[in-house]
Structure 1
């Protein structure tokens, strides 16, 4: 399915939901096993999907129906409530196979976490039940023309049993093929809520106009909101996740980290495969095989070392988030934010380094279009722009030097 190739910039109709309820994961181990099984299938067409911008329709249905989109639903509501270290590993495994598919799950999983933090029990029962059944969230959070990422012009007005939303969004990963679209909209007090609208709600239009050179099939684009009605049962007070210490921001961030370690892992494996099967030894090396080149050996060792360091911090951040979810205090939340920021720095740096080194070590032949290896660099360069790592260094320095805790928002 590739509507863009036929009708660029057109509004896209809503997708039909699967006829069967989604599977429910039973354990952390099962979540990892299912992720590996799906990744083995997703990787087969990942290059072609990137090259031709083919939407991952069947893959996305398999992903959300597998139960991996409800793995952070609390046990008391029937969910598996796996560790966030496990959730991050799942996203990494999927992203190694196809980083666009990995990214599509990000905002869904983040909203699930927010519902746990801010919703009352009645709303949690309703929404978690839908999520366990297989309802897939996209997102309509960011806006293209606002002064800062955290500034929103989209608003809603209260009409008793429902609200009416008006605005325009961009960077809406997953919205094209979502079942529901959480919209960040402000009330009359300037507070941000998630108004979770039906994908086919009257007035909600999703346009397929995502034109980035990387992460090309994240199902993003412009979302136009023209008097969209949302039942109040589906309006979530997201602002409450940031008016006091909670793990919500770190959860959104750790998923970003996992996408980048997945990209880095894929690039390193592509490097090793190319060097061992296609690259030639350098004329001055004195060796017969490219894989015996001492400089290549050192570089591959360094890349793996740095990836493993990022993965270790990713896992450590997941466990810190678990502690902050269980006991959200200023201290536990700051610890989760700081470790996640450290992981974000390393994952950004290794994703860019590994995807760049791929060509240096594999040689000129690796740049041929038939291999499409540049997709890894394009994906890394695009995804790591989500929030600037230079500010992560500032957060760390302020925390360790002056005891200043990180700000509370989805980018921290």
Structure 2
């Protein structure tokens, strides 16, 4: 196969969505997220219970300009701090964590392009991102040896390529304008290749059945000899062969989703205890909110939440440092601080989802309230990578000076 391909991404595909505005500063990004969040929260319980995919809400989100806030300034973006990005994702995830999770891979790809793409690729793809176009993903595989192994193959076909494989956990693919695919080439290295969702041989299957994060559409993508233009192949392995912030960027977004889940669970705990829960018979109190054990438990949740928020902000600044000056030490520092944030956000998200029902009481489990979604979402989303390994990673560095391995989960 030679010459131009029908599937070549000469420009980012047009959509019926309005072009997104360009956000120019960190403060503007936070303000836009705060204004948008209540709109995304509307109907979140019903979407979760009935598994209604958030198509209209996602269009609203991507058309806000927030999906382009990490585009480098040289290409027209705000290049906001990753502390700001983490707060934006937490704000959106507090409203609906499925919607908050969907841009995670998109934002990871935006950062990967900074490190691994050539100038033509940066110009084309960043322009599309700023216009509001969405990357999905076809990265993970449920059948490979481990998360870092891609059995999907990229092979030469004349001047261009073909990609074949089976993907799962493909969050965002169903809603995407472009699907980046992780594949192993004949040289044994991992590449990102970019495909139009309508490409012949590319099939998106909405078969995500997880009990949490139910509307992320994190199902399967099958690839049968999908044609890929040579100019749409990016050497992703370079992002880990040399020091880069690609791994910490991917992980900090995951931590921010969990923080948003925790905030929502604690907010609903306080609201429910104040308005609907009854005091325990032995408390001698008139209201559940005056129960001293409940008061202490809520205090514990708030302290843990604030600790997670503080470490997440510090992690964002560490990621900024690794992007500004990528070397072994700055990238390791970012990985370690993000690992700390991942531990704390995981713990508070799961704890808050569980404590909600303990403190709010039996009536809090009634389906009409939809409060079980917080624990289900936390338990599901925090499985993206085992947080038990974060403790070991941090401890091994503190005790033995061992730097974290460089990959998308660190």
The TM-score, its normalising length taken from structure 2, stands at: 0.96
2:242 is equivalent to residue 247 of structure 1? no
| Aligned counterparts of 1:69 and 1:230: Cα–Cα separation in 2 | 25
Aligned-partner SS, 1:182: strand
| Aligned counterparts of 1:274 and 1:19: Cα–Cα separation in 2 | 38
| Aligned counterparts of 1:384 and 1:19: Cα–Cα separation in 2 | 32
What stretches of structure 2 of length at least 5 have no aligned partner? Answer: 1-12
| Aligned counterparts of 1:99 and 1:73: Cα–Cα separation in 2 | 23
1:391 matched to which residue of 2?
389
Q: Quick one: structure 1 residues 401 and 362, their matched pair in 2 at CA, closer, same or farther if it must change by over 3 Å?
A: same
1:20 matched to which residue of 2?
18
1:331 matched to which residue of 2?
329
2:273 matched to which residue of 1?
275
2:6 matched to which residue of 1?
none
Q: Quick one: structure 1 residues 19 and 212, their matched pair in 2 at CA, closer, same or farther if it must change by over 3 Å?
A: closer
Superposed CA RMSD in Å reads 1.1
2:310 matched to which residue of 1?
312
User: Any idea what the Cα deviations from partners look like across 1:220-270, whole Å, max 9, x if unmatched?
Assistant: 211000111122222111110000111100000000000000000000000
Q: Quick one: structure 1 residues 85 and 160, their matched pair in 2 at CA, closer, same or farther if it must change by over 3 Å?
A: farther
Q: CA deviation at 1:160?
A: 4.4
Q: CA deviation at 1:161?
A: 4.1
Q: CA deviation at 1:333?
A: 0.4
User: Any idea what the Cα deviations from partners look like across 1:94-140, whole Å, max 9, x if unmatched?
Assistant: 00000000000100000000000111222211111111122101100
| Aligned counterparts of 2:135 and 2:27: Cα–Cα separation in 1 | 25
2:285 is equivalent to residue 287 of structure 1? yes
| Aligned counterparts of 1:378 and 1:393: Cα–Cα separation in 2 | 23
Q: CA deviation at 1:16?
A: 8.1
- Report how many aligned residue pairs link the two structures: 398
| Aligned counterparts of 2:26 and 2:14: Cα–Cα separation in 1 | 30
| Aligned counterparts of 1:303 and 1:16: Cα–Cα separation in 2 | 45
| Aligned counterparts of 1:296 and 1:118: Cα–Cα separation in 2 | 51
Aligned-partner SS, 1:384: helix
| Aligned counterparts of 2:107 and 2:14: Cα–Cα separation in 1 | 21
| Aligned counterparts of 1:51 and 1:346: Cα–Cα separation in 2 | 28
2:210 matched to which residue of 1?
212
2:228 matched to which residue of 1?
230
2:185 matched to which residue of 1?
187
* 275-284 or 121-130: bigger deviation: 121-130
Asked if structure 2 preserves the Cα contact closer than 8 Å seen for 1:18 and 1:61, the reply is: no
2:126 matched to which residue of 1?
128
2:5 matched to which residue of 1?
none
| Aligned counterparts of 2:344 and 2:403: Cα–Cα separation in 1 | 20
Q: CA deviation at 1:17?
A: 2.1
Q: CA deviation at 1:202?
A: 0.9
Q: CA deviation at 1:18?
A: 2.9
| Aligned counterparts of 2:275 and 2:81: Cα–Cα separation in 1 | 39
| Aligned counterparts of 2:91 and 2:231: Cα–Cα separation in 1 | 34
- Pick from 295, 298, 304 the counterpart of residue 296 of structure 2: 298
Q: 1:90-101 alignment to 2 at 5 Å?
A: 90-101=88-99
Asked if structure 2 preserves the Cα contact closer than 8 Å seen for 1:275 and 1:290, the reply is: yes
The TM-score, its normalising length taken from structure 1, stands at: 0.95
Aligned-partner SS, 1:125: helix
| Aligned counterparts of 1:230 and 1:91: Cα–Cα separation in 2 | 32
1:6 matched to which residue of 2?
none
2:344 is equivalent to residue 346 of structure 1? yes
| Aligned counterparts of 1:100 and 1:154: Cα–Cα separation in 2 | 27
Q: 1:4-19 alignment to 2 at 5 Å?
A: 17-19=15-17
| Aligned counterparts of 1:19 and 1:389: Cα–Cα separation in 2 | 38
2:100 matched to which residue of 1?
102
1:221 matched to which residue of 2?
219
